[in-house]
Structure 1
């Protein structure tokens, strides 16, 4: 069986090297700058591995150009709206072009923090208590009651943004009101999540495998946009410092969460461990950051995969997962 599997993989790899691959990046979402960096790194990694690669910024080039350029397959490096939420995936399926990562449903559900939380809860997967606030009914809401119901301190999250964009913590009615107004600038629905005291971890998923967990450490109030992309004080620990049993538990939980939202191929699951030692799922990311210093490449490196090998594996999964 091992030899047959290796033969099939070699055959798929040889086929892929005959194809014209487009890395779609940039776009128009709030995560454009991160996507530009991811796309450039992915293209470089694929070219190093011997693939025929074209970089295409979807802000500047219409998707129908994929047909005129005779693109055979797409590596999606678009983060956020229009790239990670199922819209692009649906368009590519309509055009008949294979692509990396999750399909329409998995992308859409994973991107929506509210629906993801509801799915975690329905599947009896651990996640912090939460409430949903709709912009249309914001003025009717008793912020004091909501804050009290969620333990007096909350994390405010736009439902469909990534990279911690629009997120804030609140522990007074005034802070919550201001944070909601800010979040409504990004989305008409906002998730209020009970504050979790404890370290944050992330687990990268590649196919059916969970890669080594990473623990993030920041002196900031939480792991926000600045901590992720601008700060020099953020630390990433891999090995993450958990016992073997705890890391096995976090990996198994991450795979369950990934499968629950219908995610596919590759991605990342973020979670925290509260002060009682209980894991709390945060979200599933189906197109996480992919610069050579991003979290998934860090986990892959600890697993023994170079960046070039990682992007090659993701491309290979696009053959297997879409059959």
Structure 2
């Protein structure tokens, strides 16, 4: 009897729209490959239904909270249903930008200086807080929600007067905020599939940084693969990416974003344990560069399923 696969998509996070696009791309691919697959929107159906409907495997295409933060992974392990991607702990840490950076820093990996802000610290009076809090960062800075993906809620701040509004925007998406030093440089991303580090991609955007608009709305954004790095740079970047991946205990597949500054130093930015799988997504571009088609990629990810009984 063929295994019944649930493609988990949609959900309640701010990345719902992107998740649906990824999920249906995966679903169509699985069906093309003869897999007995069905869509399952976790916003509309209780996750406990998976067992009742006799699903054997969960293919997670949920982005952001509720998908990448370890919560859905925990429920699936309780239900004893194998799933794609990283486990509970790695997923939980990876979605938390500050915790991720602390782990990276602990093993000597390159991370940018930042200031971490809790919502409770600024609830009473944001103006007073900003006066008391001395930011040891030179402008410009990036103000980020601490646990969001797809560059949602991020603002580039060039002047001190813009900081207050940027923090308010970020607070709409998270109770914790990261104010991080912004550096001009070249943006790259490195995809990982199992034990293999795929070719890097150079991201070219007309915006100041690779923001939500650049990712999903602008046709002018370009992705170069091969990335144009020389052999030594590519080797160094792959080594950094592998260390960054392993220290978090990630599994299956994912993507790590970095920036190369004007002094040719790489800085780790973020990690994505459930990267997008749409026609604009970067993991499929990297896989294609080594001759792995989208359908093959989807099947390889399925084969690297985490078994909850292991």
Q: What's the TM-score once normalised by structure 1's chain length? A: 0.91
Tell me which residue corresponds to 1:253.
240
TM-superposed deviation, 1:142: 3.5
Q: What are structure 1's unaligned runs of at least 5 residues?
A: 1-16
Tell me which residue corresponds to 1:223.
210
Task: Tell me, in whole angstroms, the C-alpha distance in 2 between the residues paired with 1:24 and 1:137.
Answer: 36
2:63 corresponds to 1:79: yes
Q: Residue 303 of structure 2: SS of its match in structure 1? A: helix
TM-superposed deviation, 1:146: 4.2
Task: Tell me, in whole angstroms, the C-alpha distance in 2 between the residues paired with 1:172 and 1:270.
Answer: 26
| Per-residue CA distance 1:74-99 (angstroms, 9 max, x = gap) | 00000000011000000100111000
Aligned partner of 1:142 among 111, 130, 134: 130
Q: Residue 288 of structure 1: SS of its match in structure 2? A: coil
2:23 corresponds to 1:23: no
Please report the RMSD computed on the Cα atoms of aligned residues, expressed in angstroms: 1.5
Aligned partner of 1:90 among 40, 52, 74: 74
Q: Residue 161 of structure 1: SS of its match in structure 2? A: coil
Task: Quickly say closer, same or farther: Cα 1:322–1:227, change in 2 above 3 A.
Answer: farther
Alpha-carbon contact 2:214-2:221 (below 8 Å) kept: yes
Q: Residue 66 of structure 2: SS of its match in structure 1? A: coil
Tell me which residue corresponds to 2:170.
183
Aligned partner of 1:49 among 28, 33, 52: 33
2:91 corresponds to 1:107: yes
Task: Quickly say closer, same or farther: Cα 1:242–1:143, change in 2 above 3 A.
Answer: farther
Tell me which residue corresponds to 2:191.
204
Alpha-carbon contact 2:80-2:309 (below 8 Å) kept: no
More helix by share: 1
TM-superposed deviation, 1:261: 1.5
Q: Residue 208 of structure 2: SS of its match in structure 1? A: coil
2:179 corresponds to 1:192: yes
Tell me which residue corresponds to 1:5.
none
Task: Tell me, in whole angstroms, the C-alpha distance in 2 between the residues paired with 1:242 and 1:322.
Answer: 42
Alpha-carbon contact 1:25-1:78 (below 8 Å) kept: yes
Alpha-carbon contact 1:143-1:177 (below 8 Å) kept: no
Task: Tell me, in whole angstroms, the C-alpha distance in 2 between the residues paired with 1:319 and 1:152.
Answer: 43
TM-superposed deviation, 1:319: 5.3
Task: Quickly say closer, same or farther: Cα 1:197–1:146, change in 2 above 3 A.
Answer: farther
Q: Residue 111 of structure 2: SS of its match in structure 1? A: coil
1:306-321 to structure 2, matched below 5 A, reads 306-318=293-305
Task: Quickly say closer, same or farther: Cα 1:35–1:242, change in 2 above 3 A.
Answer: same
Q: Residue 80 of structure 1: SS of its match in structure 2? A: coil
Q: What's the TM-score once normalised by structure 2's chain length? A: 0.95
2:120 corresponds to 1:132: no
Alpha-carbon contact 2:58-2:84 (below 8 Å) kept: yes
Report the count of equivalent residues: 306
| Per-residue CA distance 1:197-248 (angstroms, 9 max, x = gap) | 1011000000011101001111111111010000011011101000011111
1:270-281 to structure 2, matched below 5 A, reads 270-281=257-268
Task: Tell me, in whole angstroms, the C-alpha distance in 2 between the residues paired with 1:154 and 1:19.
Answer: 48
Task: Tell me, in whole angstroms, the C-alpha distance in 1 between the residues paired with 2:106 and 2:308.
Answer: 26
Task: Tell me, in whole angstroms, the C-alpha distance in 2 between the residues paired with 1:235 and 1:146.
Answer: 38
| Per-residue CA distance 1:289-314 (angstroms, 9 max, x = gap) | 11133100000000110000001000
Alpha-carbon contact 1:265-1:321 (below 8 Å) kept: no
